Amino acid sequence: MNATVIIEVSVSILFLLGVSFSLLSSFGLIRLPDVYTRSHASTKSATLGVLFTLLGAFLYFLLTDGYLSVRLLLGIFFVFLTAPVAGHMITRAAYLTNTQTDRLVFEDKEEEEKKTNSSASS
Amino acid sequence: MSWIHIMILLPFIYAILVPFLYKLYSHKLHTGWFVMPIPVIIFIYLLQYITPISSGEKIYTTLAWMPSLGINFTTNVDGLSLIFGLLITGIGALVILYSIYYMAKKREALHNFYIYLLLFMGAMLGLVFSDNIFVLYVFWEITSISSFLLIAYWYQRPKSRYGAQKSMLITIFGGLAMLAGFIMLSMMTGTNSVQEIISQMNDVTSGPLFVPAMLLTLLGAFTKSAQFPFSIWLPDAMEAPTPISAYLHSATMVKAGIYLVARFTPVFGGAVEWFWIVSVVGMITMIWGSFYAVKQTDLKALLAYSTISQLGLIMSLLGLGSASMAFGFTEESAMYTVATGAAMFHLINHATFKGSLFMVVGIIDYETGTRDIRRLGGLMTIMPISFTLSIIGGFAMAGLPPFNGFLSKEMFFTSVLRASELPIFSMETFGIMFPVIAWVASVFTFVYCMILIFRTFAGKHQPERLEKKAHEAPVGMLIPPIVLSSLVVIIFFFPNIIGQSLLKPSLAAILPGFTQDGAFEFITKIEAWHGFNTELFMTIGIVIFGTLLYLSHKKWSSVFYTLPEWFSLNSVYNAALEKSETVARGITNNYMTGFIRDYLVYIFAFFSIALLTCVWVLKGVSLDISNNAPISIYEVILVIGIVISALGVLFSKSRLTAIISVGALGYIIALLFVIFRAPDLALTQLIVETVTVALFLLCFYHLPEFKKEHSRVRFRITNLIISLGVGITVTLLALSAQGNKLFEPISSYFENSYELAGARNMVNAILVDFRGFDTLLEILVLSVAGLGVYTLIKLRKQGSGTNETE
Amino acid sequence: MNNLVILPIIIPFISGMIMVVFRKNITLQKWLGVIALLSTGFVAMMLMHQIKSEGIQSIQVGGWQAPFGITVVADMFAALLLVAAFLVALACFVYSFFTIGNDKEKHYYYPFFLFLMTGVNGSFLTGDMFNLFVFFEVMLISSYVLITLGGSKGQLRESFKYVLINVISSFLFLVALAYLYGVTGTLNMAHLSLRVAEAGQDGLLTTIAILFLIVFSLKAALLLFFWLPGSYSAPPTAVAAIFSALLTKVGIYAIFRVFTLIFYHEPQITHVLIGIMGALTMILGAIGAIAYWDIRKILAYNVIVSVGLIVAGLAAFTYSGLLGSIYYLIHDIIIKGLIFLIGGTVIALTGTAKLKEFSGLIRNHPYLGWMFFISALSLAGIPPLSGFVGKIFITRGTFEAELFWLGAIGFMTSLMVLYSVMKIFMNGFWGETNMSIEMEKGSTKRVILPIAFLTVLTIALGFGAEGIHDYVSIAVEGLLDPSIYIEAVFGNNPIP
Amino acid sequence: METLMALLIGVLFTIGTYLVLTKSLLRIILGTAIIGHGVHLLILTMGGLKSGGPPLLGVDTLSFTDSLPQALILTAIVINFAVTSLFLVLAFRTYQVLGTDDLNKLRGSEDE
Amino acid sequence: MSNLAVQLLINLTIATLWMFLNDTFDPVTFFSGYLVGLVILFSMRRFFSTSFYFIKIYAILKLVTIFTYELIQSSILVVRQIMKPKLDITPGIFKIQTELEGEWEVSLLALLLTLTPGSVVLEISQDGKEFTMHAMDIPISSDSVRKTKETFEKAIMEVTR
Amino acid sequence: MRPNDILLHSVTKIATFIILTFSIYLFFAGHHNPGGGFIGGLATASVVVLLFLAFDVETVKKYLPLDFQLMTALGVLLAVLTGVGSFFFDAPFLSQTFDYFELPIFGEVELATAVLFDIGVAMAVIGTAVTIILSISEAD
Amino acid sequence: MFEKVLMIVLIALTISIIAAIYRVVKGPSMPDRVIALDMIGINLVAAVAVISVLLKTYAFLEVILLIGILSFVGTIAFARFIERGVVIERNRDN
Ligand code: NA
Ligand code: NA
């Protein structure tokens, strides 16, 4: 077992791990009942998946060529930074426009009344 | 530039001055007085040519115009052109004098009248003196145009415009045909000079273009000279002021066709087609014109039909005369040259008497306010001079002595009689037609001449039916017809003066082969009395039958109305014009539907059909997949993805889905670029696709949701066939181009981009350096689009613009 | 190397961009535009002179030897068109000073105009097929904006169609380029000429040639003209005039260039097809021209007719035919600009394009009327105005090539053309004057100047046809002998 | 691969053309977008596919993909983008002003 | 910490980043990166109204560790829920309050809370004191999120204050 | 009531730096790696768009007082004028040149006129992209 | 072997993307679609990383960040659009 094989195996593991997260989240995207739960699948599992994959690629180039790709690192950082904001913005948009709010359970009853009224009226 | 050129161009140059003269002096002096000296000067100038020309001299001068194109203003003064030149200027001068009295000084746009007139005069001079066929054509068209303008001089009147349009359409049609003929002649002979064409013609008479060139040239002549069936424009041209009718539409312009036939007789004469067409068309025109002249109640219309008839007569004479050439210029053929001589002689005579008659009719119109024979009558005592003039003109036209018309009419009869005995051109069988038709036509001519004279001047005067109180015309108005009438008489008594000085040189020009003097010996013997020959009996017969018909006119005139109205050539013309518009609109509206889809269908259909046909016929497809790159599974997946997204666009019911599908398509293509190792493309495609999708979304927020396309099945099937056609075409060609790489691409050069342009990225090196020009323009396109978007959104219609309307 | 060649492209380009920078200063824009156009014209004339004395001028942009870089080539054909384009552009540009309106001026009208000229001039000059595509796009995108400028209902409706058709035709252009590159591996026109000649123009190359013909026909309105009448009736007068004077000409130019320089080996297929398309174009155009009583439509269909006539000379593919085509092309650029300017002025005066709604204009507008008359005659090729030399030689060419039907159709349709424009003259300018000056919606003040300028040109071009003959004949010789062009592009350099 | 691409391009042209022939402004523009993609792929295919690494010197020692078509496509993409954006805006302004996105209702005044 | 210092810091960061991007680690690249940073900062200068807090390396590391731990834990939770043959989750909305102040603190908290699976910040109140949260499964999440929030809050304050 | 955009704003500010750095990198990378004026310009434009999205037109215009139409024109002018520059060296239009210079601090540096050209391209692209997006967004 | 793994990963990503496309098409709400789109972007990033490894080239590493950027900007734009009906606001205060 030489170095190349070790690298390839570890990179493969990272890739497979990443892609399983991706697959899972895509199942979630299909399976989950409403836009909010689906957003969980996409903003988190998928993000995690891509982070693993990028890490795998980063390691591959680092270990095989000794090439430290800042572009990949920057990519990881950027995805990491923006994915939650994107999720936040889109679910907020859904929430504020009363998309599928009637299925939600509210801890705060006052809020629930407000939402159900407005979604009924809208 | 020689004097002759200056003389020809003088009217044009002077025409430029007319508006200024008009502006400065029109309140003091009739503009015509300024114009009149021009024809007089030219006339006098031309007179000096008589001596050299009659002694057989030929006078060429060249003014370079477009030497490289072989279009030069070469003038040829010979007998033929000189006759015309003198007619144009002589009658021109008289007409202008006449017009000074006829055209009211206060009538506005009088300057226009004289500009057109000068334009015409110059053009006519240019036409007859020009030796270059294309220059001849130039002047030919100018005469048509100036005639158009003169006919519509009173452009407010619908009838004037109608007449002008008609004459323009017909004469310009003929002009174009003639031009086509000229082009063929020029091609056949390699020269544009009439004289050189004549000298080279023997080589090409058997060429395939000989007959087409002849027919086309004749078409020009026939339309201009109002030969049947193109004659219909001439009666409507009578909407022009009477001086114009006298000048253009009887004495000069309509004779341009005669001139053309005469001028090209040396080229085409001798051919059987030429003989038959020219003489038969002339004959038909003659009888048709004389017959319909009888029907007319408007004096000018009557004169118009008579002009048609007379032009037919001259034309047929030229045709008959061309027979002489068929014999190859021998003694024997000389006997037929009399027809050509008669043609030229009658041409002059007709100009004199018809000019005079038009002027008289103008006087009647001017004095009584009408030209309607039914309202006129008994003017004999009120207008004795006019009456005398009309007697002279009318009798000359009827072919009675002692007037010049008698002489040429007798020569005409001689010609048709001789022609009927021609041993060639199948004249043994059909020859007898000519004297018969000639005689019948002459009878009708006699009848309408009598109608013209006696219905106007004899009978009962009906002042209550006239617009004005009639009296004799002012002296100035009478002088021109008096001059012409005097000529009518003088020529009768001294025909040989013009015979020697003008006719003979003109015959030498028309039949250049006949150099021996004997060929034209009849010229010296033009005389009234030949003894009791067939011609004389024919004339006597005309007088007898003509008188009978004139007296019984009321009884048989219903014959004119037996033919239905629609049958006349005029109604054919009108219907054609009207129909052409309806049909044209029908055709155009039928395919120019205004629906962009239809246009696209045409375009795509043309694209597929043309290319597939081409591929099929030329065997342009040669499939060769040997140098195909191998296919990997991932590529197949991407391709499937592309197809699915494209189908998604096609079948999506919501606009959002469609937009997203198109975005997906773009992204997958970006991936394909990644696979095909084109990183720059992938990057660009990604960004551009994103921005495009964003723009789609931004815009389609403003657009409505998809509606179900309620289209018929036929519509959809057409669309499907068309789009399949396009797809198949593109694929087929791509496959064959792929299998058909003929050369190594030039791009291996760019592999040296690092040495050449200091760049490791070849694509970038191409973009900013090797083909930086493309990129520079590409950003220009981009910027214009950006500014355009800005403009499109910001600039709204707010009644802006000072000179624009919806 | 001669940087003069590039100037007709970059002078309007840079001037237009400077105008964008100074977008608030309309006066400056007007002056700059006039100066730019004048200097372009001056350069074009210098080029004509140089080409005459030194042969075809070329420049390898960026210093990259052909066929690797982009070559810009000024042969006499292109130079003549440049000059003609300059003349008509100047007239239209000045015409728009008085008519276009402050709103459009503030929204980059003048820059767009100059960018249009950049595209037009570039299309004439480029020696590279792909670069030609790019110049087409420069021209088209400017035309898209100009046609919509103002955003009235009619404009939007027609310009959508115009843009759509042109988008499609641009795609087809790219398709054709792709095939051509696939087969020949090059884009430089001179190089293409060599390679096609070397390989022989086989079935596939001929098919590609026909694809190019379709592409350029869409631009030239050769048979595929359906988009034209609507589009040309939508924009403001000055724009319609420059469109009708130049845009189709660029397509025609491309057809000439490609079918004399590259695909000239199978004329019995390609050129005869061009002839057939030209004949149909003339017939359908003339039928359209006589069908309507609407000035805009009559004039638009007249644009179409002349396209057919011009390509007839190419179909003949003889010296006379090409000579006639070039003469006629120059004539047509000027006369189409002129007649559209007059037509637009009339519409502005009367507020309608419908001939039946007004008459007798000549009484109050004699100059306009007579200039229309002259241009109408010129349009129909009546001598001695500018159209006739071209017409004679095109016809002669068709006869020489034994395409008699083509020449005959040319003549027949020119009569129909005359009929159609005389209809405007007789029904609009003649007749009872039914509109006093006070009732008119616009005025002819000042706009008469550019109109008179073009009228004088059409007269001068008719009388002075000899004056440009040397140039035209050099152009024809260049078209007939591709080796001159190739020599000018490659010089002594090795050809891959 | 080239054959597959040729077929794919044909499909894209077919679908694009079909869309262009429909009545709705949006479908038409989407159709042109699809044809545009087809055109770009065609240029790439005509240049020859995947005969090497990316056209970057020093990255790969393999032979290079034909770089010229890539540059041409880049130019074409940008121009297409410019035209499409203008076209889009034109479409939506047309809809705004004329009140319909049905091309059948956007008939010209060809018939008087 | 002054505004100027923050900008200097960012500038240096950009310069370093630049070296990495170019895969070249020499003064020239650093200097050009510095110039690039200057340009960026200059163009963005007006966005710096509030000041940036000094970043303590340790606190940052600690925060990262906490966060990673939480991330993995909650990921497993969510994945389990999705993988269950029958979905028995009760998604819902709840609210939490925070003591954090200022743009960056609040943002950081929201960011971390959103990144941990099982919860999403739906809305932040105008004063930034109250988050409306959505949970995958409200019985489990609402409590765990509140706990996580507290650890995060503490770690953040260590970094920022 | 308007939702609080605090999270978006703060992340946007950071993202802006990343994207800007990246775009400038892309721009300069173009010479040897994928990238160049067009891509760099569009990436920069995406920053501007992001700012417009996260904030609003007024705010961005206040903080980033750029006239994008002017920028377009200046960009195109810059590009074309680098081409005209070659006239002064009696070289064909648009001749680019590059050389390696020994500079005091920098060591050997490649300077290419093509970079100026590319800057023009980038400016034009930024200007156009932002103009288009802003225009459409402001349409009513 | 390694290449086989990479192919499997790519195919898995493709399936993931197809699932997301299903959600895009199905909706039902706008936010659903946008979320799915966002996920497509994220998966594309992963795919490009894998392809880079597969092709052993750094040439596409730019693409990764770029997709990330575009996906972020796009999602924000959508969110704005859904929330306010406009993408870019003139002035937040009114
Ligand atoms: Na009577
Ligand atoms: Na009228």
- Return the partners of chain D (3 or more C-beta pairs < 8 Å): B, C, F, G
The mean pLDDT value for B379-401 works out to: 91
Give the amino acid at B614: C
This model of the complex carries an ipTM of 0.91
DSSP bridge partners of B132: B193
Which one, of C471, C468, C495, lies nearest residue C483 by Cα? Answer: C495
Q: Which residues of C touch D98 (CB under 8 A)?
A: 153, 156-157
The mean pLDDT value for B658-662 works out to: 86
φ, ψ at B61 (rounded to 5°):
-140, 145
| Residue B376 vs residues B384, B459, B464: alpha-carbon distances, Å | 15, 9, 10
pLDDT the model gives residue C317: 95
The mean pLDDT value for B294-322 works out to: 92
Per-residue pLDDT for B576 more than 80? yes
Name the residue with higher pLDDT: F19 or B712. F19
| Residue B302 CB neighbour total at 10 angstroms | 27
Q: How confident is the model at residue B74 (pLDDT cuts 50, 70, 90)?
A: very high
Whether the CB-CB separation of C315 and C321 falls below 8 Å is answered with yes
Same domain, B253 and B135: yes
Select, from the ranges B646-660, C97-111, D61-75, F54-68, the one with the highest average predicted confidence (pLDDT).
C97-111
Does a structural domain hold residue B772? no
φ, ψ at D56 (rounded to 5°):
-115, 125
| Residue labelled with tokens 């009884």 | B555
CA distance E126 to F2: 8
- In this structure, of B18-22, B754-758, C479-483, the range with the lowest mean pLDDT score is B754-758
Q: Least CA distance to F31: which residue of chain D?
A: D56
Query: Which residues make Cβ contacts (< 8 Å) with residue B85, sequence separation at least 6?
Result: B42, B46, B77, B125, B128, B129
| Residue F116 Cα, gap to closest chain C Cα (Å) | 14
Radius of gyration of chain E (CA): 20
| Residue labelled with tokens 């309408």 | B448
Q: How far is the CA of C237 from the centre of ligand 2 (A)?
A: 21
CA distance A70 to G12: 27
Domains of chain E, residue spans: 3-47, 53-160
Structure confidence by residue, pLDDT tens digits, C217-245: 999 999 999 999 988 888 999 999 999 99
The mean pLDDT value for B367-388 works out to: 88
Tokens of B763: 């694509």
- Residue C62 belongs to what domain range? 3-488
Contacting A residues, span 34-93, partner chain F, CB-CB under 8 Å: 74, 77-78, 81-82, 85, 88-89, 92
Per-residue pLDDT for B797 more than 60? no
DSSP bridge partners of F109: F101
Whether the CB-CB separation of C112 and C142 falls below 8 Å is answered with yes
Does a structural domain hold residue B473? yes
φ, ψ at B473 (rounded to 5°):
-75, 160
Q: How confident is the model at residue F1 (pLDDT cuts 50, 70, 90)?
A: low
Does a structural domain hold residue C495? no
CA distance E19 to E23: 6
Structure confidence by residue, pLDDT tens digits, A16-52: 999 988 888 888 888 888 888 888 877 777 888 888 8
pLDDT the model gives residue D112: 37
Does a structural domain hold residue B770? no
φ, ψ at F101 (rounded to 5°):
-115, 145
Structure confidence by residue, pLDDT tens digits, B450-461: 999 998 888 888
Tokens of C216: 């350029």
Whether the CB-CB separation of C266 and C204 falls below 8 Å is answered with no
pLDDT the model gives residue D30: 93
CA distance between the termini of chain F: 23
CA distance C292 to B583: 11
Q: How confident is the model at residue B41 (pLDDT cuts 50, 70, 90)?
A: very high
| Residue C358 CB neighbour total at 10 angstroms | 23
pLDDT the model gives residue B108: 66
CA distance E44 to E11: 12
Per-residue pLDDT for B428 more than 70? yes
User: Residue-wise over D56-93: b if at least 16 C-beta within 10 A, else e?
Assistant: bbebbeeebbbbbbbbbbbbbbbbbbbbbbbbbbbbbb
Q: Could you tell me whether strands E92-97 and A105-106 are parallel, antiparallel, or unpaired per DSSP bridges?
A: parallel
Task: Indicate the residue of F8, F18, F22 with minimum beta-carbon distance to A85.
Answer: F8
Domains of chain G, residue spans: 2-83
φ, ψ at B193 (rounded to 5°):
-90, 130
Select, from the ranges D25-34, E97-106, G61-70, the one with the highest average predicted confidence (pLDDT).
D25-34
> Could you give the strand order of the β-sheet that contains E92-97, starting from the edge strand earlier in sequence?
A105-106, E92-97, E130-135, E119-124
Alpha-carbon torsion, ordered F64, F65, F68, F69, to 10 deg: 170
Q: Which DSSP helix (H) or strand (E) runs through C88?
A: helix C76-99
Per-residue pLDDT for B799 more than 50? no
pLDDT the model gives residue B603: 95
Q: If DSSP codes are grouped into helix, strand and coil, which group holds residue D48?
A: coil
The mean pLDDT value for B759-788 works out to: 91
Structure confidence by residue, pLDDT tens digits, A56-84: 999 998 888 888 788 888 888 898 888 88
Whether the CB-CB separation of D77 and B688 falls below 8 Å is answered with yes
pLDDT the model gives residue B85: 95
CA triple B576-B578-B583, angle to 5 deg: 85
What is the tally of structural domains in chain B?
2
Return residues with CB closer than 5 A to ligand 2 (ion): C 355, 359, 427
CA distance B761 to B287: 89
Structure confidence by residue, pLDDT tens digits, C73-88: 999 999 999 999 999 9
Whether the CB-CB separation of A99 and E85 falls below 8 Å is answered with no
Q: How far is the CA of B543 from the centre of ligand 1 (A)?
A: 21
What angle separates helix C7-21 from helix C109-125, to the nearest 10 degrees?
160
Tokens of B341: 């001589």
Per-residue pLDDT for F134 more than 60? yes
Whether the CB-CB separation of B553 and B302 falls below 8 Å is answered with no
pLDDT the model gives residue A107: 72
Interface of B with F (CB under 8 A): 679-680, 682-684, 687-688, 691, 694-695, 698-699, 702, 757-761, 763-765, 767-769, 772-773, 775-776, 779-780, 782-783, 785-787, 789-790, 792-794
Structure confidence by residue, pLDDT tens digits, B497-530: 888 888 888 988 888 877 666 677 777 777 777 7
List, in sequence order, the alpha helices (H) in chain D: 2-20, 25-46, 67-98
Q: If DSSP codes are grouped into helix, strand and coil, which group holds residue A100?
A: coil
Structure confidence by residue, pLDDT tens digits, E55-72: 455 677 788 888 888 877
Per-residue pLDDT for D105 more than 80? no
Name the residue with higher pLDDT: B677 or C148. C148
Residues E120, A36: C-beta atoms closer than 8 Å: yes
Per-residue pLDDT for C288 more than 60? yes
DSSP bridge partners of E132: E95, E123
pTM: 0.92
pLDDT the model gives residue C395: 95
Whether the CB-CB separation of A82 and G70 falls below 8 Å is answered with no
DSSP C351: S
CA distance C323 to C76: 12
Write down the mean pLDDT value for chain B: 88
Q: Is G57 on the interface with D (CB under 8 A)?
A: yes
The mean pLDDT value for C136-159 works out to: 91
Give the amino acid at B783: S
- Residue B683 belongs to what domain range? 596-704
DSSP bridge partners of C60: C71
Whether the CB-CB separation of B111 and B26 falls below 8 Å is answered with yes
Structure confidence by residue, pLDDT tens digits, B559-574: 777 766 656 888 889 9
**What's the distance, CA C199 to chain centroid?**
33
Tokens of F113: 């006129």
Residues D43, C130: C-beta atoms closer than 8 Å: no
Same domain, B367 and B290: yes
Which one, of C395, C368, C376, lies nearest residue C458 by Cα? Answer: C376
DSSP B512: T
pLDDT the model gives residue C406: 96
Of the residues B704, B731, B766, the one at which a domain ends: B704
Residues F53, G70: C-beta atoms closer than 8 Å: no
DSSP bridge partners of F102: F108
- In this structure, of B82-86, C1-5, C360-364, the range with the lowest mean pLDDT score is C1-5
DSSP C431: S
What is the tally of structural domains in chain C?
1
Per-residue pLDDT for E5 more than 60? no
C-to-F residue pairs, Cβ atoms closer than 8 angstroms: 47
